[in-house]
A and B are shown apart, each in its own frame.
Chain A
């Protein structure tokens, strides 16, 4: 008898407990929703978003760094190329200047040499002419002196004439 009675009690929902459960449950949903779930869920969500954002920014930072590194390498390579070009250019310029200087010097030297040679020739000619003149003068003076000495006496004139006559072959 009692068992059946208790079993009915087990399966029959009591009106009091239904009332109090409903009331408590509604109040609990409202209070927890406002003071617990909202801040907790917001905090968890914010943290998750923060983590996602941090991961994304780390990824982008890595990409930026990679880009920066490749940029740097490019700049370095450019700089190296530029340096090489500059050196090459400088070398060429140096060579050109040296060559030019050489040519010019050669030319100058040639010109100086030529003018010197010309001058020497001129000087030589002048000197030769002068010498010729001197020699002529000296020759005349010598001839005059010789003639004078040769013709100073009769014997000498006669000897001369004899000498000259010896040479002349009248055959």
Chain B
């Protein structure tokens, strides 16, 4: 038993190292491509549109922060490698809710364009893709050849349809949801097949301790006796976040848990569940906080607290995951900033370190998100009336 565990740990460790190496190398490749192509590509487009010729500068500084944000943001196509017309990417469906109804087409119709120069015309409406946002195209191109209008505050003034596209993040969400469903239903089947008396095997033995951990150390610990009905929700949250955190570390994958929309939805669920299951004393504590003479100050604070807790939950997960990815890309980006192979070993060493750290963060953030959700549910369900009386009694005897 003990030897089996140690072998398992060792193989996990080796896996982590290989994984991290792969990650840093692949990022390396990904980041190196745009250096060679992006400038020439935009240059070609610009020269076509305007007929003017700008000198191509291979030593032009690379905007690493732009690269980093491109990597962590959502995209309408699943980009694998390459750039511009050489890029290899999986086209994904674009679904737009426009004033004239639903419009759908494949993202490949934009031809990898993110500058708003390629116009897709559907149902008499014209769309452009600008930095992975879909907008209604302007009638005439601007001086850069883009069919977008940039206002005084440097923001786009184009109107935008509601974008329900199956983006890269949405695809990964679907895939992980299916993966989680398949894994856990197969575990459920193995209980039925092998019976409950036999020792767990394979993925069952790996994931069962996590399930028991969520049930006992997260749900029961924070919610208490009535934790059973919240356990399925907490398990779903935990494994969805955990799987996406880890899959997000793979270079070509999407950064779902580092996307604020995803964490927003989970936090809103937490907010709803917390307040639906709340006890009377929870509401009393919010709307009639003691001491009463400070009511007009405390009540708004308590009310803000209701929303600030899930809000913090949303920001924490999003910022941790997105931040980790930015750090990794920035470290790899050092190679391109210094334009030297000599920096690569340093860069890779640091990236390796951060990647291993990110594996820890992936697990930790899934745990923290679930644990805090359970904590909020538990504290809202708690009956404070006994506690406060006890505190008063103590107060009285103290004097």
Contact = CB atoms under 8 A, between A and B. Distances in A.
What is the size category of the interface that chain B forms with chain A? 35 or more
B236 A13 contact: no
Nearest to A12: B260
A164 interface: no
Interface in A27-53: 27-29, 31-33, 35-41, 43-44, 46-47, 50
B210 to A, nearest CB: 11
A2 interface: yes
A4 B187 contact: no
Interface residues of A, number: 42
Contacts of A17: 74, 167, 169-170, 173, 259, 261-262
B338 interface: no
Contacts of A36: 181, 184-185, 187-188
Interface of A: 1-22, 24-25, 27-29, 31-33, 35-41, 43-44, 46-47, 50
A146 B197 CA distance: 139
A39 B208 CA distance: 12
B163 interface: yes
Interface of B: 63, 65-66, 69-70, 72-74, 95, 131-133, 150, 154-156, 162-167, 169-170, 173-174, 177, 180-181, 184-185, 187-188, 191-192, 196-197, 208, 211-212, 215, 231-233, 235-236, 240, 259-262, 264-266, 269, 322
26 contacts: A2-B66, A3-B65, A3-B66, A8-B155, A9-B131, A10-B260, A13-B264, A14-B163, A15-B163, A16-B162, A16-B170, A18-B265, A19-B164, A20-B164, A20-B170, A21-B261, A25-B269, A31-B181, A32-B180, A32-B181, A32-B232, A37-B184, A39-B188, A40-B211, A43-B192, A44-B211
Main secondary structure of the interface of A (DSSP, over half): helix
A12 B260 CA distance: 7
A29 B236 CA distance: 6
Contact of A5 (B72, B155, B184, B264): B155
